[in-house]
Amino acid sequence: MQPDAQYISTRGQIDPVSFQDAVLMGLATDGGLLLPREIPDLSGQLPRLAALPYPELATQVMLPFVAGSLTEAELRVLVERSYATFRHPEVTPLVAAGPVHILELFHGPTLAFKDVALQLLGNLFEHVLAKTGQKLNILGATSGDTGSAAIAGVRGRQGIHIFIMHPNGKVSPLQERQMTSVLDANVHNIAIEGTFDDGQHVLKEIFNDLPFKQEYALGAVNSVNWARVLAQVVYYFHAAFRLQAETGCAKIQVSVPTGNFGDIFAGYVAMRMGAPIARLILATNENDILARFFNTGVYARGQVFATSSPSMDIQVASNFERYLYYRVGQDPVRLRELMAEFARTGRIVLEPGDTTIVADAGNQAQTLATIATYYRDHGYLLDPHTAVGVAVGERFLDPATPTVCLATAHPAKFPATIQEAVGQDVAHHPILDALADLPTRCTVLPATKTAIEQFMRDKLGSL
Protein backbone atom coordinates (compact mmCIF):
# COMPACT_ATOMS: atom_id res chain seq x y z
CA MET A 1 0.00 0.00 0.00
CA GLN A 2 1.38 3.40 -0.95
CA PRO A 3 1.69 6.17 1.64
CA ASP A 4 -0.69 9.07 1.20
CA ALA A 5 0.64 11.73 -1.17
CA GLN A 6 1.34 15.02 0.60
CA TYR A 7 1.76 18.47 -0.93
CA ILE A 8 3.79 21.40 0.37
CA SER A 9 4.20 25.00 -0.71
CA THR A 10 7.37 26.28 -2.34
CA ARG A 11 7.31 29.03 0.29
CA GLY A 12 7.05 26.58 3.19
CA GLN A 13 4.38 28.33 5.23
CA ILE A 14 1.43 25.94 5.05
CA ASP A 15 0.86 22.53 6.59
CA PRO A 16 1.05 19.64 4.12
CA VAL A 17 -2.23 18.97 2.26
CA SER A 18 -3.65 15.99 0.37
CA PHE A 19 -3.81 15.71 -3.42
CA GLN A 20 -7.56 16.40 -3.26
CA ASP A 21 -7.02 19.58 -1.25
CA ALA A 22 -4.14 20.62 -3.53
CA VAL A 23 -6.40 20.35 -6.58
CA LEU A 24 -9.04 22.57 -5.00
CA MET A 25 -6.54 25.03 -3.46
CA GLY A 26 -4.74 25.80 -6.75
CA LEU A 27 -2.37 28.50 -5.49
CA ALA A 28 -1.08 27.83 -1.98
CA THR A 29 -2.51 30.12 0.69
CA ASP A 30 0.98 31.46 1.51
CA GLY A 31 1.33 32.70 -2.08
CA GLY A 32 3.55 29.83 -3.17
CA LEU A 33 2.99 26.94 -5.55
CA LEU A 34 2.14 23.41 -4.45
CA LEU A 35 4.52 20.51 -5.03
CA PRO A 36 4.56 16.90 -3.87
CA ARG A 37 6.71 16.43 -0.78
CA GLU A 38 8.48 13.64 -2.65
CA ILE A 39 8.73 12.85 -6.37
CA PRO A 40 8.51 9.08 -6.90
CA ASP A 41 11.27 7.21 -8.71
CA LEU A 42 9.80 5.05 -11.48
CA SER A 43 13.14 4.16 -13.11
CA GLY A 44 12.81 0.52 -12.01
CA GLN A 45 9.39 0.21 -13.65
CA LEU A 46 10.20 1.54 -17.13
CA PRO A 47 9.96 -1.81 -19.02
CA ARG A 48 6.51 -2.45 -17.53
CA LEU A 49 5.30 1.11 -18.21
CA ALA A 50 6.61 1.12 -21.79
CA ALA A 51 4.15 -1.59 -22.82
CA LEU A 52 1.04 0.29 -21.66
CA PRO A 53 -1.48 2.20 -23.84
CA TYR A 54 -1.75 5.89 -23.05
CA PRO A 55 -4.69 5.86 -20.59
CA GLU A 56 -3.18 3.05 -18.51
CA LEU A 57 0.26 4.69 -18.65
CA ALA A 58 -1.34 7.89 -17.35
CA THR A 59 -3.00 5.96 -14.52
CA GLN A 60 0.24 4.31 -13.43
CA VAL A 61 2.42 7.44 -13.71
CA MET A 62 -0.05 9.57 -11.72
CA LEU A 63 -1.04 6.95 -9.13
CA PRO A 64 1.71 7.69 -6.55
CA PHE A 65 0.75 11.37 -6.62
CA VAL A 66 -2.94 10.80 -5.77
CA ALA A 67 -2.59 8.16 -3.03
CA GLY A 68 -4.96 8.81 -0.15
CA SER A 69 -7.33 10.89 -2.28
CA LEU A 70 -8.17 8.56 -5.18
CA THR A 71 -8.09 4.79 -5.47
CA GLU A 72 -6.46 3.24 -8.52
CA ALA A 73 -9.92 2.29 -9.81
CA GLU A 74 -11.26 5.84 -9.36
CA LEU A 75 -8.24 7.34 -11.09
CA ARG A 76 -8.51 4.90 -13.99
CA VAL A 77 -12.18 5.81 -14.56
CA LEU A 78 -11.38 9.56 -14.54
CA VAL A 79 -8.44 9.10 -16.93
CA GLU A 80 -10.40 6.94 -19.38
CA ARG A 81 -13.32 9.38 -19.35
CA SER A 82 -10.95 12.30 -20.00
CA TYR A 83 -9.11 10.79 -22.96
CA ALA A 84 -12.24 9.32 -24.55
CA THR A 85 -12.80 12.89 -25.82
CA PHE A 86 -9.62 12.78 -27.96
CA ARG A 87 -9.82 12.11 -31.69
CA HIS A 88 -6.71 9.90 -31.98
CA PRO A 89 -6.49 6.39 -30.53
CA GLU A 90 -2.98 7.08 -29.15
CA VAL A 91 -4.16 10.35 -27.55
CA THR A 92 -0.77 12.01 -28.23
CA PRO A 93 0.70 10.37 -31.38
CA LEU A 94 4.32 10.70 -32.47
CA VAL A 95 4.99 11.67 -36.12
CA ALA A 96 8.33 11.83 -37.94
CA ALA A 97 9.02 15.12 -39.76
CA GLY A 98 12.43 15.80 -41.26
CA PRO A 99 15.19 15.64 -38.63
CA VAL A 100 12.79 15.58 -35.67
CA HIS A 101 9.74 13.76 -34.35
CA ILE A 102 6.60 15.73 -33.53
CA LEU A 103 4.51 14.77 -30.50
CA GLU A 104 1.00 15.90 -31.47
CA LEU A 105 -0.76 17.14 -28.36
CA PHE A 106 -3.69 18.79 -30.15
CA HIS A 107 -6.19 15.98 -30.69
CA GLY A 108 -8.47 17.02 -27.81
CA PRO A 109 -11.72 19.02 -27.93
CA THR A 110 -10.13 22.47 -28.40
CA LEU A 111 -7.15 21.40 -30.56
CA ALA A 112 -4.51 22.46 -28.00
CA PHE A 113 -2.14 20.66 -25.65
CA LYS A 114 -4.00 22.18 -22.67
CA ASP A 115 -6.78 19.63 -23.29
CA VAL A 116 -4.48 16.82 -22.11
CA ALA A 117 -4.54 18.30 -18.62
CA LEU A 118 -7.80 20.22 -18.52
CA GLN A 119 -10.09 17.40 -19.60
CA LEU A 120 -8.72 15.48 -16.64
CA LEU A 121 -8.89 18.47 -14.30
CA GLY A 122 -12.56 19.04 -15.13
CA ASN A 123 -13.34 15.44 -14.26
CA LEU A 124 -11.24 15.66 -11.08
CA PHE A 125 -13.09 18.78 -9.96
CA GLU A 126 -16.48 17.17 -10.54
CA HIS A 127 -15.44 13.97 -8.73
CA VAL A 128 -14.13 15.81 -5.66
CA LEU A 129 -17.08 18.20 -5.46
CA ALA A 130 -19.59 15.34 -5.72
CA LYS A 131 -17.78 13.57 -2.90
CA THR A 132 -17.55 16.58 -0.59
CA GLY A 133 -20.73 18.50 -1.49
CA GLN A 134 -18.66 21.65 -2.08
CA LYS A 135 -18.93 24.23 -4.84
CA LEU A 136 -16.08 25.79 -6.81
CA ASN A 137 -15.59 29.07 -8.63
CA ILE A 138 -12.64 28.88 -11.03
CA LEU A 139 -10.65 31.97 -11.91
CA GLY A 140 -8.08 31.78 -14.70
CA ALA A 141 -5.96 33.96 -16.94
CA THR A 142 -5.10 32.89 -20.46
CA SER A 143 -2.79 33.98 -23.25
CA GLY A 144 -4.80 31.84 -25.67
CA ASP A 145 -5.38 28.12 -25.35
CA THR A 146 -5.74 27.63 -21.59
CA GLY A 147 -9.04 29.52 -21.54
CA SER A 148 -10.84 27.51 -24.20
CA ALA A 149 -9.48 24.21 -22.88
CA ALA A 150 -10.51 25.06 -19.32
CA ILE A 151 -13.96 26.12 -20.45
CA ALA A 152 -14.34 22.90 -22.45
CA GLY A 153 -13.33 20.94 -19.36
CA VAL A 154 -15.97 22.39 -17.02
CA ARG A 155 -18.78 23.88 -19.12
CA GLY A 156 -22.18 22.76 -17.86
CA ARG A 157 -20.74 20.87 -14.88
CA GLN A 158 -22.65 20.96 -11.60
CA GLY A 159 -21.30 23.05 -8.75
CA ILE A 160 -18.72 24.91 -10.88
CA HIS A 161 -18.53 28.41 -12.34
CA ILE A 162 -15.57 29.52 -14.42
CA PHE A 163 -14.25 33.06 -14.98
CA ILE A 164 -11.54 33.37 -17.65
CA MET A 165 -9.55 36.56 -18.29
CA HIS A 166 -7.82 37.10 -21.63
CA PRO A 167 -5.96 40.20 -22.90
CA ASN A 168 -8.39 42.16 -25.03
CA GLY A 169 -7.37 42.01 -28.70
CA LYS A 170 -4.16 40.11 -27.94
CA VAL A 171 -5.20 36.50 -28.60
CA SER A 172 -5.90 35.08 -32.03
CA PRO A 173 -9.47 35.66 -33.29
CA LEU A 174 -10.11 31.91 -33.35
CA GLN A 175 -8.79 31.47 -29.80
CA GLU A 176 -11.05 34.29 -28.65
CA ARG A 177 -14.07 32.84 -30.42
CA GLN A 178 -13.42 29.38 -28.96
CA MET A 179 -13.89 30.94 -25.53
CA THR A 180 -16.56 33.56 -26.08
CA SER A 181 -18.89 31.39 -28.15
CA VAL A 182 -19.49 29.12 -25.13
CA LEU A 183 -22.74 30.46 -23.70
CA ASP A 184 -23.34 27.99 -20.85
CA ALA A 185 -24.62 29.74 -17.74
CA ASN A 186 -21.57 28.71 -15.70
CA VAL A 187 -19.06 30.25 -18.15
CA HIS A 188 -17.96 33.90 -17.83
CA ASN A 189 -15.44 35.42 -20.27
CA ILE A 190 -13.59 38.62 -19.37
CA ALA A 191 -11.43 40.63 -21.80
CA ILE A 192 -9.00 42.64 -19.68
CA GLU A 193 -7.50 45.93 -20.82
CA GLY A 194 -3.84 44.92 -20.68
CA THR A 195 -1.45 42.05 -21.32
CA PHE A 196 -1.47 38.43 -20.23
CA ASP A 197 1.10 39.32 -17.55
CA ASP A 198 -1.41 41.87 -16.21
CA GLY A 199 -3.97 39.09 -16.01
CA GLN A 200 -1.55 36.82 -14.16
CA HIS A 201 -0.78 39.62 -11.72
CA VAL A 202 -4.48 40.18 -11.00
CA LEU A 203 -4.98 36.43 -10.65
CA LYS A 204 -2.26 36.18 -7.99
CA GLU A 205 -3.57 39.28 -6.18
CA ILE A 206 -7.05 37.77 -5.96
CA PHE A 207 -5.82 34.36 -4.82
CA ASN A 208 -3.75 36.11 -2.15
CA ASP A 209 -6.91 37.89 -0.92
CA LEU A 210 -7.65 35.00 1.44
CA PRO A 211 -11.05 36.23 2.74
CA PHE A 212 -12.31 36.60 -0.86
CA LYS A 213 -10.78 33.27 -1.88
CA GLN A 214 -12.49 31.51 1.01
CA GLU A 215 -15.86 33.26 0.68
CA TYR A 216 -16.13 32.52 -3.04
CA ALA A 217 -14.45 29.07 -2.97
CA LEU A 218 -11.87 30.01 -5.61
CA GLY A 219 -10.05 27.34 -7.59
CA ALA A 220 -7.42 27.55 -10.31
CA VAL A 221 -7.09 25.96 -13.75
CA ASN A 222 -3.92 27.75 -14.77
CA SER A 223 -0.76 25.72 -14.57
CA VAL A 224 -0.39 26.95 -10.98
CA ASN A 225 -2.74 23.98 -10.32
CA TRP A 226 -0.51 20.96 -9.68
CA ALA A 227 -2.95 18.58 -11.42
CA ARG A 228 -2.27 20.45 -14.69
CA VAL A 229 1.45 19.74 -14.46
CA LEU A 230 0.90 16.15 -13.34
CA ALA A 231 -1.24 15.25 -16.35
CA GLN A 232 1.42 16.68 -18.68
CA VAL A 233 4.21 14.58 -17.12
CA VAL A 234 2.66 11.50 -18.74
CA TYR A 235 3.30 12.39 -22.37
CA TYR A 236 7.03 12.75 -21.78
CA PHE A 237 7.15 9.09 -20.75
CA HIS A 238 4.89 8.20 -23.68
CA ALA A 239 7.11 9.98 -26.24
CA ALA A 240 10.28 8.39 -24.90
CA PHE A 241 8.78 4.89 -24.92
CA ARG A 242 7.41 5.24 -28.45
CA LEU A 243 10.71 6.50 -29.83
CA GLN A 244 12.71 3.85 -27.99
CA ALA A 245 10.52 1.20 -29.59
CA GLU A 246 10.95 2.79 -33.03
CA THR A 247 14.68 3.57 -32.97
CA GLY A 248 16.21 1.54 -30.15
CA CYS A 249 17.64 4.73 -28.61
CA ALA A 250 18.60 4.82 -24.93
CA LYS A 251 17.17 8.29 -24.32
CA ILE A 252 15.49 11.16 -26.16
CA GLN A 253 15.68 14.93 -25.90
CA VAL A 254 12.56 17.09 -25.97
CA SER A 255 12.16 20.61 -27.36
CA VAL A 256 9.39 22.52 -25.63
CA PRO A 257 7.96 25.86 -26.80
CA THR A 258 7.18 27.63 -23.57
CA GLY A 259 6.13 30.92 -22.06
CA ASN A 260 4.76 30.03 -18.65
CA PHE A 261 7.22 27.20 -17.88
CA GLY A 262 4.41 24.76 -17.01
CA ASP A 263 4.85 22.34 -19.91
CA ILE A 264 8.63 22.15 -19.63
CA PHE A 265 8.40 21.85 -15.84
CA ALA A 266 6.29 18.72 -16.41
CA GLY A 267 9.23 17.38 -18.44
CA TYR A 268 11.59 18.30 -15.61
CA VAL A 269 9.41 16.29 -13.20
CA ALA A 270 9.37 13.34 -15.64
CA MET A 271 13.19 13.40 -15.71
CA ARG A 272 13.34 13.42 -11.89
CA MET A 273 11.01 10.39 -11.96
CA GLY A 274 13.40 8.47 -14.19
CA ALA A 275 11.91 9.00 -17.66
CA PRO A 276 14.52 8.15 -20.35
CA ILE A 277 15.14 11.78 -21.34
CA ALA A 278 18.70 13.11 -21.74
CA ARG A 279 17.81 16.80 -21.66
CA LEU A 280 15.09 19.35 -22.29
CA ILE A 281 15.37 22.13 -24.86
CA LEU A 282 13.58 25.30 -23.78
CA ALA A 283 12.35 27.35 -26.73
CA THR A 284 11.00 30.88 -26.43
CA ASN A 285 10.05 33.53 -28.95
CA GLU A 286 11.21 37.16 -28.63
CA ASN A 287 9.78 37.13 -25.10
CA ASP A 288 12.91 35.39 -23.97
CA ILE A 289 13.10 35.84 -20.18
CA LEU A 290 13.44 32.08 -19.70
CA ALA A 291 16.02 31.54 -22.46
CA ARG A 292 18.09 34.39 -21.02
CA PHE A 293 17.94 32.85 -17.56
CA PHE A 294 19.18 29.44 -18.65
CA ASN A 295 21.99 31.00 -20.66
CA THR A 296 23.10 33.72 -18.22
CA GLY A 297 21.58 33.01 -14.81
CA VAL A 298 19.71 36.34 -14.92
CA TYR A 299 15.92 36.22 -14.62
CA ALA A 300 14.81 39.76 -15.44
CA ARG A 301 11.43 41.13 -16.43
CA GLY A 302 11.36 42.81 -19.85
CA GLN A 303 8.96 44.32 -22.36
CA VAL A 304 6.22 42.05 -23.72
CA PHE A 305 6.43 41.77 -27.52
CA ALA A 306 3.38 40.76 -29.58
CA THR A 307 4.26 37.85 -31.90
CA SER A 308 2.59 35.24 -34.08
CA SER A 309 2.95 32.78 -31.17
CA PRO A 310 0.79 34.72 -28.68
CA SER A 311 0.55 32.00 -26.03
CA MET A 312 4.28 32.57 -25.46
CA ASP A 313 4.09 36.37 -25.23
CA ILE A 314 4.90 36.30 -21.53
CA GLN A 315 7.63 37.92 -19.45
CA VAL A 316 6.79 36.46 -16.01
CA ALA A 317 6.53 32.67 -16.03
CA SER A 318 4.13 31.58 -13.28
CA ASN A 319 5.60 28.06 -12.98
CA PHE A 320 9.21 29.21 -12.73
CA GLU A 321 8.89 29.34 -8.94
CA ARG A 322 8.46 25.55 -8.84
CA TYR A 323 11.69 25.04 -10.74
CA LEU A 324 13.46 27.68 -8.66
CA TYR A 325 12.52 25.75 -5.51
CA TYR A 326 14.62 22.81 -6.73
CA ARG A 327 17.44 25.05 -7.96
CA VAL A 328 17.87 26.46 -4.43
CA GLY A 329 17.99 23.00 -2.88
CA GLN A 330 14.31 22.91 -1.81
CA ASP A 331 14.99 25.73 0.65
CA PRO A 332 11.73 27.69 1.15
CA VAL A 333 13.45 30.50 3.05
CA ARG A 334 15.86 31.16 0.18
CA LEU A 335 12.98 30.83 -2.29
CA ARG A 336 10.95 33.46 -0.41
CA GLU A 337 13.94 35.80 -0.44
CA LEU A 338 14.34 35.43 -4.20
CA MET A 339 10.65 35.94 -4.95
CA ALA A 340 10.56 39.03 -2.74
CA GLU A 341 13.62 40.37 -4.56
CA PHE A 342 11.97 39.75 -7.94
CA ALA A 343 8.76 41.47 -6.79
CA ARG A 344 10.82 44.45 -5.63
CA THR A 345 13.33 44.80 -8.48
CA GLY A 346 12.03 42.65 -11.37
CA ARG A 347 15.34 40.77 -11.40
CA ILE A 348 17.12 37.87 -9.70
CA VAL A 349 20.46 36.20 -10.45
CA LEU A 350 21.59 32.60 -9.95
CA GLU A 351 24.78 30.91 -11.02
CA PRO A 352 24.12 28.83 -14.19
CA GLY A 353 24.47 25.16 -13.44
CA ASP A 354 21.58 22.98 -14.58
CA THR A 355 22.70 20.83 -17.52
CA THR A 356 19.28 19.14 -17.84
CA ILE A 357 17.88 22.20 -19.66
CA VAL A 358 19.40 24.08 -22.61
CA ALA A 359 17.67 27.08 -24.13
CA ASP A 360 17.44 29.51 -27.01
CA ALA A 361 14.97 31.88 -28.65
CA GLY A 362 13.42 31.91 -32.11
CA ASN A 363 12.25 35.15 -33.70
CA GLN A 364 9.35 35.92 -36.02
CA ALA A 365 11.32 35.46 -39.25
CA GLN A 366 12.67 32.10 -38.07
CA THR A 367 9.20 30.95 -37.07
CA LEU A 368 7.75 31.74 -40.50
CA ALA A 369 10.73 30.18 -42.29
CA THR A 370 10.39 26.97 -40.25
CA ILE A 371 6.69 26.67 -41.05
CA ALA A 372 7.43 27.16 -44.75
CA THR A 373 10.35 24.68 -44.80
CA TYR A 374 8.50 21.89 -43.02
CA TYR A 375 5.44 22.30 -45.24
CA ARG A 376 7.49 22.42 -48.44
CA ASP A 377 10.15 19.81 -47.67
CA HIS A 378 8.43 17.42 -45.28
CA GLY A 379 4.71 17.85 -45.97
CA TYR A 380 4.07 18.75 -42.33
CA LEU A 381 2.20 21.87 -41.20
CA LEU A 382 3.39 23.43 -37.94
CA ASP A 383 1.51 25.97 -35.87
CA PRO A 384 3.64 29.04 -34.95
CA HIS A 385 4.27 27.91 -31.35
CA THR A 386 5.40 24.47 -32.43
CA ALA A 387 7.54 26.12 -35.12
CA VAL A 388 9.44 28.02 -32.42
CA GLY A 389 10.13 24.71 -30.69
CA VAL A 390 11.28 23.08 -33.93
CA ALA A 391 13.47 26.03 -34.97
CA VAL A 392 15.24 26.03 -31.61
CA GLY A 393 15.29 22.22 -31.36
CA GLU A 394 17.18 21.96 -34.66
CA ARG A 395 20.05 23.92 -33.08
CA PHE A 396 20.60 21.13 -30.56
CA LEU A 397 20.28 18.04 -32.76
CA ASP A 398 22.31 15.06 -31.55
CA PRO A 399 22.77 12.01 -33.84
CA ALA A 400 22.76 9.66 -30.83
CA THR A 401 19.70 11.18 -29.15
CA PRO A 402 16.50 11.60 -31.19
CA THR A 403 14.74 14.94 -30.81
CA VAL A 404 11.05 15.19 -30.03
CA CYS A 405 9.33 18.56 -30.50
CA LEU A 406 6.06 19.14 -28.70
CA ALA A 407 3.25 20.29 -31.04
CA THR A 408 1.14 22.44 -28.78
CA ALA A 409 -1.71 23.46 -31.09
CA HIS A 410 -3.33 22.58 -34.39
CA PRO A 411 -2.14 24.95 -37.16
CA ALA A 412 -5.74 25.78 -38.07
CA LYS A 413 -5.89 27.94 -34.93
CA PHE A 414 -3.50 30.41 -36.64
CA PRO A 415 -4.61 30.61 -40.29
CA ALA A 416 -3.25 34.11 -40.97
CA THR A 417 0.26 33.19 -39.84
CA ILE A 418 0.18 29.93 -41.78
CA GLN A 419 -0.94 31.74 -44.94
CA GLU A 420 1.83 34.33 -44.48
CA ALA A 421 4.39 31.56 -44.11
CA VAL A 422 3.38 29.18 -46.92
CA GLY A 423 1.49 31.52 -49.24
CA GLN A 424 -1.64 29.37 -49.22
CA ASP A 425 -4.85 29.14 -47.19
CA VAL A 426 -4.25 25.57 -46.00
CA ALA A 427 -4.83 25.76 -42.23
CA HIS A 428 -8.38 24.61 -41.55
CA HIS A 429 -10.24 22.32 -39.17
CA PRO A 430 -14.00 21.69 -39.22
CA ILE A 431 -14.32 22.42 -35.48
CA LEU A 432 -12.86 25.88 -35.98
CA ASP A 433 -14.59 26.62 -39.27
CA ALA A 434 -17.91 26.02 -37.48
CA LEU A 435 -17.20 28.87 -35.02
CA ALA A 436 -17.51 31.64 -37.60
CA ASP A 437 -21.24 32.30 -37.27
CA LEU A 438 -21.78 31.48 -33.59
CA PRO A 439 -22.99 34.17 -31.15
CA THR A 440 -20.49 35.28 -28.47
CA ARG A 441 -20.58 36.73 -24.95
CA CYS A 442 -17.77 38.63 -23.22
CA THR A 443 -17.27 41.53 -20.80
CA VAL A 444 -14.41 44.05 -21.14
CA LEU A 445 -12.95 45.14 -17.78
CA PRO A 446 -9.89 46.95 -16.43
CA ALA A 447 -7.03 44.67 -15.38
CA THR A 448 -7.50 45.37 -11.68
CA LYS A 449 -8.25 43.21 -8.66
CA THR A 450 -11.15 45.51 -7.71
CA ALA A 451 -12.87 45.25 -11.09
CA ILE A 452 -12.56 41.48 -11.39
CA GLU A 453 -13.66 40.77 -7.81
CA GLN A 454 -16.70 43.02 -8.23
CA PHE A 455 -17.65 41.30 -11.48
CA MET A 456 -17.47 37.93 -9.74
CA ARG A 457 -19.56 39.19 -6.81
CA ASP A 458 -22.19 40.51 -9.21
CA LYS A 459 -22.40 37.27 -11.17
CA LEU A 460 -22.30 34.86 -8.27
CA GLY A 461 -24.60 36.97 -6.12
CA SER A 462 -27.32 36.83 -8.77
CA LEU A 463 -27.31 33.06 -9.23
- What's the mean pLDDT in 398-418? 95
Sign of CA dihedral 166, 171, 177, 178: negative
Q: Which of 114, 204, 213, 413 is catalytic?
A: 114
Q: For residue 310, what pLDDT is reported? A: 80
Q: For residue 369, what pLDDT is reported? A: 98
pLDDT per position as a tens digit, 80-89: 999 999 999 9
Sheet holding 403-407, edge to edge: 94-97, 100-104, 403-407, 252-257, 277-284, 357-361
Q: For residue 222, what pLDDT is reported? A: 79
Q: 302: pLDDT confidence band, cut at 50, 70 and 90? A: confident
- What's the mean pLDDT in 362-384? 97
Predicted TM-score of the model (pTM): 0.93
Q: Which of 244, 367, 237 is closest to 312 using CA atoms?
A: 367
Q: How far is it, in rounded angstroms, from Cα 98 to Cα 404?
A: 11
Query: Does residue 353 carry a pLDDT above 90?
Result: no
Q: 360: pLDDT confidence band, cut at 50, 70 and 90? A: very high
pLDDT per position as a tens digit, 107-152: 999 999 999 999 999 999 999 999 888 899 999 998 777 889 999 9
Query: Does residue 164 carry a pLDDT above 60?
Result: yes
Q: Which of 102, 82, 100 is closest to 92 using CA atoms?
A: 102
Has 114 been annotated as catalytic? Answer: yes
> What domains does the chain contain, in order, with CATH numbers?
94-111+227-431 (3.40.50.1100)
Q: 200: pLDDT confidence band, cut at 50, 70 and 90? A: confident
Q: 2: pLDDT confidence band, cut at 50, 70 and 90? A: low
Q: Which of 174, 181, 273 is closest to 230 using CA atoms?
A: 273
Residues 6+ apart with CB under 8 A from 76: 55, 56, 59
